[in-house]
Chains A and B, each alone.
Chain A
Amino acid sequence: MNKQRRRLLRLGLTAGLAGMAGAAGLAGRLYAAPAGGPRFLLVFLRGGYDSTNLLVPHASSFYYESRPTIAIAKPDPASNTGALALDGDWALAPAVRETVGALYAQRQAAFIPFAGTDDVSRSHFETQDSIEMGQGSAGVHDYRSGFLGRLSETLTGTDAGNGAIAFTDALPLAFEGALTVPNLSLKNVGKPSFDERQAKILRDMYAGHHLEAAVSSGLELRHDVALKMADEMTAANRNAINTKGFELEADRMGRLMRDKYRIGFVDVGGWDTHVGEGAAQGALAGNLASLGKGLQAFSQSLGAEWHDTVVVVVSEFGRTFRENGSHGTDHGHGTVYWVLGGSINGGRIVGAQQRVTQATLFQDRDFPVLNDYRAVLGGLFRSMWGLSPAQSAHVFPNAPVDLKLV
């Protein structure tokens, strides 16, 4: 199954190229992409989420010593609500047991611990920016070039290259680059500001102007989103009326990516838990539960296309292994990435690992980074779209590592 699916994911590129040959001249225009073809969503948890209370090293006594008030209790085989044991070393936070845990059981979710970047500033902004730029860590940076932007450039002419979208208020640095990528937050989707007659007048005003494509695609995106979301409240097959927050947003994202978009980006805030982060319940657990529900909703609203989709959840850094004096955690280094998708080779803890002891901590403070995000994502992109070495190198300077996820 996975082998066959991998082939399908790779074939997506070729099919996309052939299908889009005629539309290459419509750079910047939106169109209904053909069914099939790989989809990728990057979820950026801004603030540095405490990955150690998501993927719990339950075999480590050092974990329980280090977190006297915020540790998550060891999995109890008799419990349906405690931490979910994933293997002998790791367990999943109960907050996502029903959502991401269920996906993991279906081999549709995997985790990469000891993941991150070589930036050790432990600064939110610097690390977020350097991750989004995805360039070499030393020397001069091009502040106008993000790795998803370069991925889109690499795939220009395919439905993936032309089907990029940021579900954010402002275009994230990750998407900056030579192409114009549309952006629209789906948190609040109101009626479009312009009816069809007004939109036509605005479009006509720019006919023949070099901004014509940007103007029509901008208006069209608003219109499409409004139209697509119109049935939200009456959707019969889902409990849509009760969904809110990120779950609702993710459901909308899934529907847009099902029909039209191939590379998406969204960010979720609120992870900077210096104070009172809680354990099995509490602030972090609440955020994780909401995220898990959202990712589940996203997978469901994609329908059959979920099997051609890969979601990666990242954050700028992990947090201190030990709890601080305020029942929270401070800025750390290595973190845990999540990989989800209908046909991924999941149900595993992936990538280079080491035992969790005081001796293996980075600077006696936090997790080391053994899996550089550029190598991991680069390997994933190479497998998904069959990128050549030159194309891979355009996206990330690091050599890709194949974790056999797709």
Chain B
Amino acid sequence: MCRACAARAASRDLRHRSQRQPAPSAAVSRREDVILCILARNRQGDVVKLSSRAYQSLRSGIGTLGAGLAVAAVVGVTLVGCAAPGASGTRISTGGGTGTPPLPVLRREDMLWLERVTFGLNSAGVAEYRRLGRERFLDAQLRADGQALPPAVAAEIAALGVAHADPQRDLAAVNAQYKTLNALADGPDKEQARKTLNEQGNNLAYEAVRRDVLRAVYSPAQLQEQMVWFWLNHFSVFQHKERLRWLVGDYEERAIRPHVFGRFKDLVMATLEHPAMLQYLDNVQNTAGHINENYARELMELHTLGVNGGYSQQDVQNLARVLTGAGVNAGDAPHLKPEWQRLYLRRGAFEFNPARHDFGPKALLGHPITGRGFDEVDAAVTLIVRQPACARFISRQLATYFVADTPPPVLIERMAQTFLHTDGDIAAVLRTMFLAKEFQAALGGKFKDPMRFVVSSVRFAYDGRTINNTRPIINWLNGLGEGSYNHQTPDGYPLTEVNWASSGQMSRRFEIARAIGAGNAGLFDPEDGTAATATGFPQLSNRLYFEAVEPTLAARTRDALTRANSQQEWNTFLLSSPEFGYE
């Protein structure tokens, strides 16, 4: 019996926690490192300690809920306690006999704030917030330094092929393989070669998604992971176009990740120079005399200024001309006239080829741009990102993702001012947003998109314990229609509730809640096919629940939880509840 639990429980109104709390799960009870605390309440409502005999009976009746309830009935109590599963017991102190004084309980608004800034609550995040307080916690998140992944997860990622991706080398190799393939005569050999190559691409893209998921669930740098998701979605690319399956991992790693809190212009330039973006939006085909406007249009419409951001069709055409010659080359440099050689640029598989560039004079957004090569691109992007329309558009997108489906205009304006004054310092804009009273006022009202729903469920259910298999998570995300690198059109996934709360989505969401709540969902079956490392189901009525979730529950949700017939059902209803579905 842990004193901290008892004290905390006793200090609260227990009326709403008097549901038939089921026995701890078999999986939990078998583990020696579990910190198990059983609180009980007698008919008068006092918290009591179960007799050791009753407790032993409970343990022996584990797995059979009826037996546990029967024991509870015999001793005249209702179980109300918590059982923290697995590694959560070893990762954090629950105060269970450790002798450390209980830390102050966080207010509900702190919990909601923390939930929004992260991909969902876990014990480590709560502990860190307690240690640092809100502003220091935020600043640590915005720095994203010294927040290492758990070693097991870091090792898993390091072992992935995608961790060693190199666009130039990989593109050259895959281009050569396709060349060999196309030279083969039709027949089984050709089909086999095609299949092998397809599997290679699929596997690399899958590994990139797997790395995404592992980091989203386990990285202590939670805001960084949310921002990687946000910018990947903002500068969305689709894995099934051209050779993108070989490129998306590197795109995330080198174009997006280093710049998520940096200067917006650097982020735009990093995506602009990445082969994934150049292939995806067809700039590889954009050459002098054969203009392809695709990227130029989206660069202003989707990436910087927004659809009504004050540019004209003429600006689109002129920006396209500015972008001519920016392309991809994984092979040898072209033979160029001497006067073009000094203008030729090559960074990895990115190439600026002056022979394909339109050197004529252009005007963009009312400013003249003299033809001089890739410097034009830098000048054009600088001009674009310094437009007030860009500051507002980016601020609105950030606020739509983090604050509310319709963010308060006054907040957008304040963020936009920060953006303009700091020349697009993303961290500064985020700080303005997260510390705003408008942000505080909007807490609890943002519907979790599939990524946030699935990741927060796994974080909550397994609380730091390392899963072995990310495939179920990726399947859930794909099933809910928000798989990474899977959005065909360049606009990225929508950021608002209306797109994710359809009837089909809601019922599927409940089924995922059931998969997580009622079993291990295959999360502990290693991807190499070796034996599962755990069975059973998670225990969601844990300390984190009582601290962070329970106080937010509406009467209807409490009522639903009391009607659960088993821990599995209870878990399912909790993850399905409106309170868990919003943050």
Contact = CB atoms under 8 A, between A and B. Distances in A.
B488 A125 contact: yes
A219 B510 contact: yes
Contacts of A236: none
B578 A206 contact: yes
Contacts of B557: 205
A207 B508 CA distance: 19
Given A143-B491, A144-B494, A201-B560, 5 more contacts: A198-B572, A202-B576, A205-B556, A208-B556, A218-B505
A346 to B, nearest CB: 33
Interface in B553-583: 556-557, 559-560, 563-564, 569, 572-573, 576-578
Give the most central of B190, B238, B488, B502: most A CB within 10 Å: B502
Nearest to B507: A218
A171 interface: yes
B503 A129 contact: no
Nearest to A170: B481
A207 B556 contact: yes
Nearest to A179: B502
Contact of B238 (A125, A204, A207, A221): A125
A140 B301 contact: yes
In the A-B complex, the 10 residue pairs with the smallest Cβ-Cβ separation, listed nearest first, are: A218-B507, A218-B503, A183-B504, A170-B481, A217-B503, A205-B560, A218-B506, A182-B503, A193-B511, A214-B503
B241 interface: yes
Contacts of A143: 489, 491
A180 interface: yes
Contacts of B556: 204-208
B171 to A, nearest CB: 20
Contacts of B186: 275-276, 325-327
Contacts of A202: 510, 560, 573, 576
Which of A129, A169, A198, A275 has the most CB atoms of chain B within a 10 A radius of its CB?
A198
Interface of B: 186, 190-191, 194, 238, 240-241, 301, 307, 479, 481, 488-489, 491, 494, 498-499, 501-508, 510-511, 514, 556-557, 559-560, 563-564, 569, 572-573, 576-578
Interface of A: 28, 125, 129, 140, 143-144, 166, 169-171, 180-184, 193-194, 198, 201-202, 204-209, 211, 213-215, 217-219, 221-222, 275-276, 325-327
Contacts of A275: 186, 190-191, 194
Contacts of B572: 198
B503 A205 contact: no
Contacts of A219: 506-507, 510
Contacts of A206: 556, 578
Most-contacted residue by chain A among B301, B498, B510 (CB, 10 A): B510
A205 to B, nearest CB: 4
Contacts of B241: 125
A156 to B, nearest CB: 16
A199 to B, nearest CB: 9
Contacts of B191: 275
A28 B503 contact: yes
Contacts of A222: 507
A160 to B, nearest CB: 18
Contacts of B564: 201
B494 A215 contact: no
Interface centre among B191, B498, B505, B559 (most CB of A within 10 A): B505
A128 to B, nearest CB: 8
A327 B190 CA distance: 13
A193 B504 contact: no
Nearest to B512: A193
Contacts of B491: 143
Nearest to B492: A143
A184 B560 contact: no
21 contacts: A125-B489, A143-B491, A171-B481, A180-B498, A181-B502, A193-B510, A194-B514, A201-B560, A201-B563, A202-B510, A202-B576, A211-B578, A213-B503, A214-B503, A215-B507, A218-B503, A218-B507, A218-B510, A275-B186, A275-B190, A325-B186
A125 B577 CA distance: 36
Contacts of B479: 169
B504 A221 contact: yes
Which residue of A125, A183, A208, A211 has the most chain B CB atoms within 10 A of its CB atom? A211
A44 B186 CA distance: 30
Contacts of A211: 501, 506, 578
A231 to B, nearest CB: 22
A169 B502 CA distance: 12
B502 A183 contact: yes
Contacts of A205: 556-557, 559-560, 573, 576-578
B489 A180 contact: no
A180 B502 contact: yes
A204 B514 contact: no
B511 A214 contact: no
A198 B502 contact: no
A209 B238 CA distance: 36
A218 B194 CA distance: 41
Contacts of A209: 578
Contacts of A218: 502-508, 510
Contacts of A198: 569, 572
Nearest to A327: B186
Nearest to B579: A205
B196 to A, nearest CB: 15
A202 B502 CA distance: 16
Q: Which of A28, A207, A218 has the most CB of B within 10 A?
A: A218
Nearest to B313: A139
Nearest to A139: B313
A330 to B, nearest CB: 13
Contacts of B560: 201-202, 204-205
A217 B301 CA distance: 36
A214 B573 contact: no
Contact of B501 (A166, A214, A221, A276): A214
A218 B578 CA distance: 15
Contacts of A276: 186
Contacts of B569: 198
Contacts of B498: 180
B489 A129 contact: yes
A392 B238 CA distance: 33
Nearest to B511: A193
A244 to B, nearest CB: 23
